[in-house]
A and B are shown apart, each in its own frame.
Chain A
Amino acid sequence: MNMSLELLLATPFIGGLLTYIGGKVHRWVRNIFAVLFSLLTLGEMSLFYNTTFKGDVWGSLFGSKLILQTNPITWLFLLIVTSISLLVIVFSVDDMKHEEDHIVLDSYYMQLLFVEGAMIGIVLAGDLITFFMFWEIMSWTSYFLIVHGGKKSMDAGYKYIIMSIIGAYAMFVAIAMIYSKAHSLVYPDVALVLSQSSPTFTIWIIILLGVGFFVKAAVMPLHTWLPDAHSEAPSPVSPLLSGVLIKMGAYGLFIIFYGLMSANLAKNIMPSIFSTPVLLYIVQWLAALSIVLATFLAIMQEDAKRLLAYSSISQIGYVVLGLATGTSLGVAGGLFHALNHAIFKSLLFLAVGAVIYRTGTRNLSDLGGLVKKMPFTFVALVVGIIALAGVPPLNGFVSKWMIYEALLQKKEVFLLIMAFVGSTGAFLYVYRLVHSIFLGQLSQKHENVKDVPILMQIPMWVLVIATVIYGIFPGLAMDVIVKGMKMFGFAPIAYNLYGFPQGSTMGALKVINIASVLMISFVVAWIFFLLFSKSRKVSQYDNYAAGQVVTPELKYNYSFGFYMSFGRVIKPIFKISIERIYNYWVDAAKIFGDYYMRRVYTGNLETYNSYIVIVVTIAAAAVLLGGKIW
């Protein structure tokens, strides 16, 4: 038995508790503990990086072994989890300073570390019980994190936890069904059972587990919690949610599609369309719809974090779309995009968080012209949006390119068109983000804004460097991905450090060439530019206004309704709003709930006592009947 995985898993939990206790001593003890323990987790992770552990039993429950295991894909996700968590905690130190209540902050850091630990647990899990346990811990701790954000975040958190619970129930039912059949929940056993059981059973398992993962990954139509939760959460939490937490859903999908049931198995039990099993094909379509509709919604947002939240739905659509293609290129693209999205979306949320920290607003139409006041944050944000828009030579481009090529190879043209549309649409909303915050006219109330403190800048710079490195050297990530996919039975794809040679794909890609030629032509153009007479800097009020004079009092900044004309084009699509349908249901559920709640929670002590008696009786009966509830 190897203790290293347990150690890796236990570090954040122990760290969380120590941080909480440390907070009682002094706030700096707490901060240092939080940073230290997340750093320690990252250190342990990198110490064991890319070594394969198979079946590490750490306990047992109901006679089922609880197992921790790793494979290269695990390490990919662990890398995301541990590094982003560390950066978020470092960012939090300054960003959460304004919080008056120390007890709240103590529990905040504890929860951050707990979420990290829970996600490590999910990724390391070698059986479904462990998986489910940490899944629930993640849901609840992240719920507490979300509600830190203020009044509105309570509602958002409520929505989030309700949908998470629904997903968890679905998963629970699926796990129970598997257990009743296999009496073991270790992945290989489960895979064996699934390959032997009837197609109906398998499909039900996939659907039930899929609902749980879809909720977490926020694939349409189960996305409605995400825009609220991600935008209302405190700024350092949003990157964790958007960058890392929704990837757990993608990881789960990867596990059921290719871990619990291999692609061959799927092909055997259900009909195929475009050589894709029908269920996966439906998933692809859902993902593609997420991409397009979320892009449209993101374009119309007026709130920086909400815009990014919708963009997360769209980007996770690419991940799921890639994962569901079933070809090595597509799955590799999906996994790579999961990594890339974690990097650039965290970067974007941190940058926007920095802006919120200094200006106190995330309303795009209240901001503007901050590039002169916060140049470093601007650079970070620009790098993030270039990566998000999928423009070479940054990382978002490579993974999107892989997904496109995979779809093109499979001739799934309509999905490809939708993926492309989402990507061009991304130009619109990312530009909106950078324009409304940093360009345009600086409003008078932001005259004295400074750039954020160094502790908040460091995480952004780390992510900027990661974005560039993974963009120019996609081979670094592909090493891990291809190695891991081999274990799941995928054919290897040809790649090198700089991209993809001709052969495995329909075209070739060499990002370093794109990057270097762009750099050279940029330098040449710049030198040519400098040859001519120098330019004189003018103030933003010395501006063309058809001959009139621009004064600070004048509202001379176009920000609200930036794409209003485009909104008119897509209006017909949103006549039937998914959101509204949900709201009907939520209203109905509230009325229903109120009616029955009053009958259940009467406020009478005797009633509660009787409930306890009933529950205990049922439990006792179950134990007497042989420890089996079903």
Chain B
Amino acid sequence: MERMTEEQVKTIANMLRKRSLWMIHYCTGCGAMELPPTMTSRYDMERFGLAPYVTSRQADILLITGYLNVKTLRRVITVYEQMLDPKYVIGFGSCALNGGVYWDSYAVIKQLDRYIPADLYIAGCMPRPEAIISAFRHLMELIDSGKADGYKRYKRNLAYYKENQRKVLG
């Protein structure tokens, strides 16, 4: 009985979480260019309860909007670790996936989820606002079913992530 209620609490919490996703205001790469249209009057992300918030403490989603170079990665990790659980990461565009057009650049991190756990990727360069919104909808489904557990994975595999981060950042 007790487990049941705990389960129910989790369901309710997830239901609330998916309806109010605050993303951190951090334009890590050029994918951020398609965020203003998504936020503003034409696509109006706020319909889904998504809103940009300023500091790492307030936000739920970290958007890695495009490529990450080494200098940014350090800040992204700081920001990610400052965020409060539950927190979700969305990798934006092909650069976050595999380096994209910068596959041969010395400055760019090739694969995002070696360093921080990504819950979702959006393919494309750049992803269109429709794609972004569809990704958010998908994330909501994942949260609802409890599958968006990147923050748990990060805690579980902290050694792995730290090792990878250390290799790059030194």
Instruction: Give the contact stretch, choosing among B44-52, B75-83, B103-111, B145-153.
Output: B75-83
B157 interface residue per 8 A CB criterion: no
| Closest-CB distance, A125 to chain B (whole angstroms) | 62
State the CA gap A549–B77 with chains docked (Å): 11
State whether the Cβ of B8 lies closer than 8 Å to any Cβ in chain A.
no
In the complex, what residues of B have CB within 8 A of residue A544's CB? 55-57, 82
Is A548 a contact partner of B56 (Cβ separation < 8 A)?
no
Total residue contacts A-B, CB cutoff 8 A: 14
- The answer to whether A547 has its CB under 8 Å from any CB of chain B is yes
Question: Is B154 in contact with chain A by the CB < 8 A criterion?
Answer: no
Of residues 542 to 563 in A, which have CB atoms within 8 Å of B's CB atoms?
Answer: 542, 544, 547-549
Q: What are the interface flags for A534-548 relative to B under an 8 Å C-beta threshold, 1 for contact and 0 otherwise? A: 000000001010011
Please state if A542 and B82 are interface contacts (CB–CB under 8 Å).
yes
Whether A547 pairs with B26 at a CB distance below 8 angstroms is yes
Interface residues on B, range: under 10
Interface of chain B residues 87 through 101 with chain A (CB within 8 A): none
Residue among A542, A544, A547, A548 with most chain B CB within 10 A: A547
Determine how close the nearest CB of chain B comes to the CB of A45; give it in whole angstroms.
Answer: 55
How far apart sit A549 and B71, CA to CA, in the bound complex (Å)? 12
Q: In the bound complex, what is the Cα–Cα distance between A18 and B26 (angstroms)?
A: 72
Complex Cα distance, B109 from A22, in Å, reads 78
- Majority secondary structure of chain A interface residues (helix, strand, loop or mixed): loop
Give the contacts of B4-35 with A (CB-CB under 8 A): 26
Q: Which B residues are CB-close (under 8 A) to A548?
A: 75, 78
| Complex CA distance for A542 and B55, rounded to whole angstroms | 13
Name the prevailing secondary structure of the B interface residues: helix
CB distance from B96 to the nearest CB of A (A): 17
Nearest Cβ on chain B to A357's Cβ, whole angstroms: 36
Nearest CB in chain A to that of B72: its residue: A547
Residue of B nearest to A536 (CB): B84
Q: In chain A, what residue has the closest Cβ to B85?
A: A533
B129 to nearest A CB, angstroms? 25
Which partner residue on chain B sits nearest A544 by CB separation? B55
Q: How far is the CA of A548 from the CA of B74 in the complex (A)?
A: 9
Report which residue of A542, A544, A548 has the largest number of chain B beta carbons within 10 angstroms of its beta carbon.
A544
Complex Cα distance, B156 from A140, in Å, reads: 73
Q: Tell me the minimal C-beta distance from A538 to chain B in angstroms.
A: 9
Give the Cβ gap from A554 to chain B, nearest Cβ, in Å. 14
For B57, the chain A residues whose CB sits under 8 A away are 544
Nearest-neighbor residue (CB-CB) of B79 within chain A: A547
Complex Cα spacing A548 to B79, Å: 8
Instruction: State the Cβ distance, A539 to closest chain B Cβ, in Å.
Output: 12
CB-CB < 8 A to A542: which residues of B?
82
Q: Which residue of A lies closest to B57 (CB)?
A: A544
Which residues on the A side are within 8 Å of B79 (C-beta)? 547
B118 to chain A, nearest CB (A): 18
Q: Which residue of B55, B56, B78 contacts A549 across the interface (Cβ within 8 Å)?
A: B78
Give the complex CA separation of A547 and B78 in angstroms: 6
Q: In the complex, A542→B76 CA distance in Å?
A: 14
Complex Cα gap A548–B56 (Å): 11
Chain A neighbourhood of B82, CB < 8 A: 542, 544
- Min C-beta distance of B135 to chain A, whole Å: 23
Q: With A and B bound together, what is the CA distance between A544 and B55 in angstroms?
A: 7
Bound complex: CA A542 to CA B79 (Å)? 10
Nearest CB of chain B from residue A542's CB, rounded to whole Å? 7
Query: Chain B residue with minimal CB distance to A538?
Result: B82
Chain A residues contacting B76 (CB-CB under 8 Å) are 547
Q: A549 vs B75: C-alpha distance in the bound complex, in angstroms?
A: 8
A544 to B58, CA, bound (A): 11
Per the bound structure, the CA–CA distance linking A549 and B81 in Å amounts to 12
Q: How far is the CA of A549 from the CA of B74 in the complex (A)?
A: 9
Nearest CB on A from B66, distance (A): 16
Give the residues in chain B near A547, CB-CB below 8 Å.
Answer: 26, 56, 75-76, 78-79
- B69 CB to closest chain A CB (Å) equals 14
Q: How far is the CA of A542 from the CA of B82 in the complex (A)?
A: 7
Question: CB-CB < 8 A to A549: which residues of B?
Answer: 78
Nearest-Cβ distance from residue A379 to partner chain B, whole angstroms: 27
Against A, the Cβ 8 Å flags (1 = close, 0 = not) of B102-132 are 0000000000000000000000000000000
How many angstroms from the CA of A544 to the CA of B75 in the assembled complex?
A: 11
Contacts of B55 in A (CB 8 A): 544
Q: Measured between alpha carbons, how far is A101 from B82 in the docked complex, in Å?
A: 53
* Bound form: Cα–Cα A7–B120 in Å: 86
| A549 vs B57: C-alpha distance when bound (angstroms) | 15
> What residue of chain B has the Cβ atom nearest to residue A533's Cβ?
B85
B 36-75 binary contact with A (CB < 8 Å = 1; else 0): 0000000000000000000111000000000000000001
Shortest Cβ distance from A542 into B: residue: B82
A549 to B79, CA, bound (A): 9
Q: How far, in whole Å, are A146 and B37 apart by their CA atoms in the complex?
A: 68
Residues of A with C-beta under 8 A to B78: 547-549
* 14 examples of A-B residue contacts, CB within 8 angstroms: A542-B82, A544-B55, A544-B56, A544-B57, A544-B82, A547-B26, A547-B56, A547-B75, A547-B76, A547-B78, A547-B79, A548-B75, A548-B78, A549-B78
Q: Enumerate the 9 nearest inter-chain pairs by beta-carbon distance, A residue then B residue, closest first.
A: A547-B75, A544-B55, A547-B79, A549-B78, A544-B56, A547-B78, A544-B57, A547-B26, A542-B82
List A residues at the B interface (Cβ < 8 Å). Answer: 542, 544, 547-549
Q: Which residues of chain B have a CB within 8 Å of any CB of chain A? A: 26, 55-57, 75-76, 78-79, 82
New A-B pairs, 5, CB < 8 Å, besides A544-B55, A547-B79, A549-B78? A542-B82, A547-B56, A547-B75, A547-B78, A548-B78
